[in-house]
C-alpha cells in the first residue's frame, strides 16, 4: 500500500503543477489544439514519471532506503502461539481505496453499457466514416468514438446539420479517447478533487475544438449559437460521452466571440519544459547515494529501515504480512519478562543473502558490521546496541506504542531480545533482492513489540 500511496501522491503533485500552469497561462487562450496536447501530455506525464526509476549520482557513499513495516506484536496474555494482531490503519485505508475504485469502475462499465443499449435501440443511418444513430430516448446529441447519437424527436423536429457537424468534429479528433483517460484518472485518484476538475477541463476544451471546427466549415455563428440553445432545454445528459452540456454553454458562447490569441501567446507553452524537467528529476530520478545514511538507529517513531537499496527489494514468501503472521504465531512472551513487568519494542537487524536466506550481519573477521557513515552536515548515529548471538544486530530498543519510557537493565532487555532473535532465525523462504539483474544481499530491520496487558 505504501508504494501505491507514494505513487498516487507523486502523480497527484505532477498533475497539480501542470494544471496550475494551465489555469494561469493557457486556459483563456484560443489555441485549443495545443491546449489539448498540453492536457494529454500533463496527464500522461503524471502517470508515467513516478513509475520511472533512473539512477543519478549523489554526494555520499552509502545507499539507504526507508520502508515502513508495522511491528510484530506479542502481548503478555498470550503464552504460546499468540494470535496475529488485527488489521492496521494502512490495511483499512487500502481496503477503502480499492472498494471505491471497484465501485467507480463498475459505474464506468454501467455507463458504457448504457451506450451499448442505446445503440441497440436505435436505427443506424450512416455507416462510414461515422455511424449516425437515431434513438427513442430524450438525450442531447452526443458522440462516442465513431458513433453519433441523436434523439428521433429532435432529429425530425429541426435542422441538425450544424449539430451533426459538431459531433463529427469530436469523432474526427478522437475526443472519446481523452474522455476515457480522464475517467480512468478519476477511478484511480477518486479522492483527488483535481481529477474531477481535470475531466471537466478536458471536456470543455473538446467543446471549444468542436465549435471551432463548425465555424471553420462556414456556418453562421449566430444561427449556430441559437441551434445550441435550442437543443439544451428539457434534455437529459449521458455521462462518459460528448454532448451539449448546460454547465459550460456560457463559456462556449463566450469563446466563440473571443478574439483569437496571438501567435506570441503560444510561447507560454514553453513553461512546460522546465516544469516537466523539475518534476522528472524529483520523482523519476533516484539518487544512488542517500542523504539518510546517518540514520542508522531507528527511533520509536520509525517502523523499519531497508539498507543497500536494490532495484527489486527482497520479499518473504506470501508477502510481508504473511511473514509478520508467521513471526507473531511463533513468538512467546518470556515468562520472566512478564513477572518483572518488562516490555518494549526491539529492532532486529539481519541480512537476506543472494539465496533468500537470513544470515548474520557480520564482517569477514566475525565482527558486527558498523553503521554507515553519516551524511554530510549530519551528526553520526549512536553506536547500536548489539548481541553476539549469530552476529544479528539489535539496532534499537524503546517503549512499546502508547507506553512511557522505562529504564531496564541489560539482563531485562536481553529477555525480549533473545526471543526476537530466536524467531528471526526460524527458517523462512525469501525471494532475494535484485540489483542490476543479479541477486544481492540486502539488510533489513524488523520491529518486534512486547506489550504487557
pLDDT tens, residue by residue, 16-64:
988 888 888 888 777 888 889 989 988 988 888 777 754 444 443 333 3
Residue 292 has pLDDT above 50, yes or no: no
Asked whether residue 385 falls in the same domain as residue 350, the answer is yes
Strands 344-352 and 131-135: unpaired
Q: Identify which of 84, 91, 87, 89 has the alpha carbon closest to the alpha carbon of residue 325.
A: 84
Asked whether residue 69 falls in the same domain as residue 128, the answer is no
Most confident of 137-141, 154-158, 294-298, 303-307: 137-141
Q: At what angle do helices 2-21 and 89-121 cross, to 10 degrees?
A: 60
pLDDT score for 45: 86
Asked whether residue 30 falls in the same domain as residue 76, the answer is no
Q: Are the C-beta atoms of residues 271 and 41 closer than 8 Å to each other?
A: no
The Cα–Cα gap between 214 and 253 comes to 13
- Range 389-415 average pLDDT: 76
Query: Could you count the other beta carbons within 10 Å of the beta carbon of residue 123?
Result: 10
Asked whether residue 376 falls in the same domain as residue 437, the answer is yes
Q: How far is CA 405 from the centre of its chain?
A: 37
pLDDT score for 360: 55
Asked whether residue 34 falls in the same domain as residue 71, the answer is no
The Cα–Cα gap between 168 and 166 comes to 5
Reported confidence tier of residue 392, pLDDT bands at 50, 70, 90: low
Asked whether residue 161 falls in the same domain as residue 81, the answer is no
Number of domains comprising the chain: 2
Asked whether residue 113 falls in the same domain as residue 198, the answer is yes
pLDDT in tens, 360-369: 554 444 444 4
Asked whether residue 244 falls in the same domain as residue 312, the answer is no
Asked whether residue 239 falls in the same domain as residue 344, the answer is no
Q: Are the C-beta atoms of residues 69 and 303 closer than 8 Å to each other?
A: yes
pLDDT in tens, 203-242: 988 888 888 888 888 888 877 777 776 655 544 455 555 5
Q: Which three cell numbers stand for residue 250?
A: 456560457
Asked whether residue 217 falls in the same domain as residue 300, the answer is no
Residue 113 located in a structural domain: yes
pTM of the model: 0.58
Residue 379 located in a structural domain: yes
Where in the sequence is the domain holding 181, given as residue range(s)? Answer: 2-54+92-279
Helix (H, G, I), strand (E, B) or coil at 341: coil
Asked whether residue 79 falls in the same domain as residue 156, the answer is no
Q: Cis bond leading into 170, ω under 30°?
A: no
Asked whether residue 390 falls in the same domain as residue 268, the answer is no
The Cα–Cα gap between 371 and 361 comes to 11
Domain closes at, from 228, 254, 279:
279
Domain closes at, from 279, 303, 336:
279
Amino acid at each position: 500500500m505504501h508504494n501505491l500511496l507514494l505513487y498516487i501522491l507523486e502523480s497527484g503533485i505532477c498533475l497539480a503543477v501542470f494544471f496550475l500552469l494551465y489555469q494561469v497561462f493557457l486556459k483563456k487562450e484560443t489555441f485549443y489544439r495545443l491546449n489539448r496536447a498540453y492536457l494529454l501530455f500533463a496527464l500522461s506525464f503524471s502517470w508515467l514519471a513516478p513509475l520511472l526509476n533512473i539512477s543519478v549520482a549523489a554526494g555520499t557513499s552509502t545507499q539507504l532506503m526507508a520502508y515502513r513495516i508495522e511491528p510484530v506484536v506479542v502481548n503478555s496474555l498470550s503464552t504460546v502461539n499468540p494470535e496475529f494482531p488485527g488489521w492496521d490503519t494502512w490495511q483499512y485505508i487500502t481496503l477503502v481505496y480499492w472498494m471505491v475504485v471497484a465501485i467507480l469502475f463498475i459505474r464506468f462499465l454501467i455507463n458504457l453499457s448504457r451506450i451499448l443499449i442505446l445503440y441497440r435501440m436505435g436505427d443506424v443511418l450512416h455507416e462510414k466514416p461515422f455511424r449516425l444513430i437515431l434513438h427513442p430516448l430524450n438525450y442531447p446529441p452526443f458522440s462516442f468514438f465513431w458513433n453519433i447519437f441523436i434523439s428521433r424527436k429532435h432529429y425530425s423536429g429541426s435542422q441538425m446539420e450544424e449539430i451533426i457537424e459538431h459531433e463529427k468534429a469530436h469523432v474526427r479528433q478522437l475526443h472519446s479517447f481523452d474522455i476515457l483517460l480522464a475517467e480512468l484518472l478519476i477511478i484511480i485518484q477518486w479522492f483527488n478533487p483535481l481529477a474531477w476538475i481535470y475531466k471537466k477541463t478536458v471536456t470543455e476544451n473538446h467543446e471549444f475544438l468542436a465549435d471551432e471546427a463548425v465555424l471553420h466549415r462556414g456556418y453562421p455563428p449566430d444561427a449556430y449559437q441559437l441551434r445550441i440553445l435550442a437543443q439544451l432545454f428539457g434534455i437529459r445528459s449521458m455521462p462518459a460521452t460528448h454532448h451539449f452540456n448546460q454547465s459550460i454553454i456560457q463559456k462556449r458562447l463566450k469563446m466563440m466571440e473571443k478574439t483569437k490569441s496571438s501567435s506570441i501567446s503560444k510561447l507560454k507553452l514553453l513553461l512546460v519544459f522546465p516544469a516537466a524537467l523539475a518534476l522528472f528529476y524529483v520523482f523519476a530520478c533516484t539518487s544512488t547515494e542517500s542523504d539518510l545514511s546517518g540514520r542508522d538507529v531507528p527511533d520509536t517513531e520509525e517502523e523499519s529501515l531497508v539498507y543497500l537499496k536494490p532495484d527489486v527489494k527482497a520479499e518473504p514468501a506470501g508477502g510481508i504480512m504473511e511473514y509478520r503472521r508467521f513471526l507473531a504465531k511463533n513468538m512467546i512472551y518470556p515468562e520472566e519478562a512478564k513477572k518483572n513487568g518488562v516490555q518494549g519494542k526491539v529492532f532486529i537487524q539481519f541480512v537476506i543473502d543472494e539465496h533468500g536466506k537470513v544470515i548474520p550481519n557480520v564482517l569477514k573477521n566475525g565482527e558486527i558490521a558498523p553503521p554507515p557513515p553519516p551524511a554530510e552536515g549530519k551528526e553520526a548515529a549512536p553506536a547500536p546496541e548489539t548481541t553476539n548471538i549469530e552476529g544479528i544486530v539489535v539496532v534499537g530498543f524503546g517503549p512499546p506504542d502508547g507506553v512511557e519510557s522505562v529504564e531496564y537493565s541489560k539482563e531485562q532487555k536481553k529477555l525480549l531480545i533473545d526471543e526476537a532473535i530466536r524467531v528471526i532465525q526460524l527458517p523462512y523462504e525469501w525471494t532475494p533482492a535484485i540489483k542490476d539483474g543479479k541477486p544481492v544481499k540486502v539488510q533489513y530491520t524488523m520491529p518486534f513489540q512486547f506489550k504487557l496487558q
